[in-house]
């Protein structure tokens, strides 16, 4: 499977879904449109779930390619955390969007009118956001430690492979084959561990999105998904411009 082609198609479809979601959100004035909005919301969540399902399949075949992500821009790669976005970024996004909505509707809010958008988060919601942020940060740190252990083990891996290499004057076809087999098994084990780290990071990413939208109202959850996608599209656009300015036209 060519993950690059899948990713391009997936992003194109995400653009389409977010456009539909934004339009439906703007026109949400009756129960029928509200039902349509919910269907689109569920489609976006399913789309994200499908991305991580396919990514896991590809990673089990070629984890280094997935982690290095040659199909994205240089800017996007510089911002990556273990093959994707950092989960705690979502909480910074919520606080930013909440502030923007609050400031744009401050007169209505101060007069007692509930806007129901991300600028109208309740104290209970804000407390829950803070709790989820702490939990996500703790898991991020645990995964960081696991990744650091994996990286430190690379030197041990090289030592082991060197010890497996027989001396030139004692090398035979059979010892070459044995060393190649043993070394391959050893490296395969390291790659499987890296797959596990990547899948743990991806699980935290998807789980964080789900937990955030669960604590929001339907209107707030829609606004959150739109803001998250627009951030992704914006970073990609900046990255494309950056690469083009420097002669990198692969994207």
CB atoms within 10 A of CB 247: 6
Residue 182 and residue 174 in contact, taking contact as beta carbons nearer than 8 Å: no
Whole-angstrom distance, CA of residue 56 vs CA of residue 147 = 17
Residue ranges per structural domain of the chain = 3-245
Going from the C-alpha of 97 to that of each of 149, 223, 224, 227, the distances in angstroms are 36, 9, 8, 8
Residue 73 and residue 62 in contact, taking contact as beta carbons nearer than 8 Å: no
Residue 32 and residue 38 in contact, taking contact as beta carbons nearer than 8 Å: no
What string of pLDDT tens digits covers the 251 residues of the chain? 589 999 999 999 999 999 999 999 887 667 777 888 999 999 999 999 999 999 999 999 999 999 999 999 999 999 999 999 999 999 999 999 998 876 666 666 566 666 678 988 999 999 999 999 999 999 999 999 999 999 888 777 677 667 666 555 555 555 555 555 555 677 888 899 999 999 999 999 999 999 999 999 999 999 999 999 999 999 999 999 999 988 876 66
Whole-angstrom distance, CA of residue 8 vs CA of residue 243 = 17
Tell me the DSSP string of 124-144. HHHHHHHHHHHHHHHHHHHHH
With residue 64 as reference, give the H or E element that holds it: helix 63-68
């Amino acid at each position: 499977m060519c993950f690059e082609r899948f990713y391009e198609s997936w992003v194109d479809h995400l653009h389409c879904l977010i456009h539909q979601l934004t339009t439906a959100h703007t026109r949400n004035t009756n129960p029928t449109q509200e039902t349509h909005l919910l269907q689109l919301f569920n489609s976006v969540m399913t789309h994200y779930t499908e991305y991580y399902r396919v990514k896991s399949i590809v990673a089990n075949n070629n984890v280094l390619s997935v982690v290095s992500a040659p199909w994205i821009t240089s800017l996007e790669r510089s911002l990556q955390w273990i093959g994707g976005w950092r989960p705690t970024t979502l909480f910074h996004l919520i606080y930013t969007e909440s502030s923007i909505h609050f400031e744009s509707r401050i007169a209505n809010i101060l007069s007692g009118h509930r806007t129901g958008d991300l600028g109208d988060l309740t104290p209970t919601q804000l407390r829950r956001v803070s709790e989820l942020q702490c939990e996500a940060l703790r898991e991020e740190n645990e995964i960081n430690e696991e990744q650091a252990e994996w990286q430190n083990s690379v030197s041990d891996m090289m030592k082991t492979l060197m010890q497996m290499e027989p001396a030139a004057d004692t090398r035979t076809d059979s010892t070459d084959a044995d060393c190649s087999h043993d070394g391959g098994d050893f490296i395969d084990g390291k790659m499987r561990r890296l797959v596990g780290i990547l899948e743990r990071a991806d699980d935290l990413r998807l789980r964080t999105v789900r937990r955030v939208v669960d604590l929001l109202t339907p209107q707030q959850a829609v606004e959150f998904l739109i803001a998250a996608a627009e951030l992704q599209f914006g970073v990609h656009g900046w990255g494309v411009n950056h690469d083009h300015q420097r002669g990198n036209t692969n994207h």
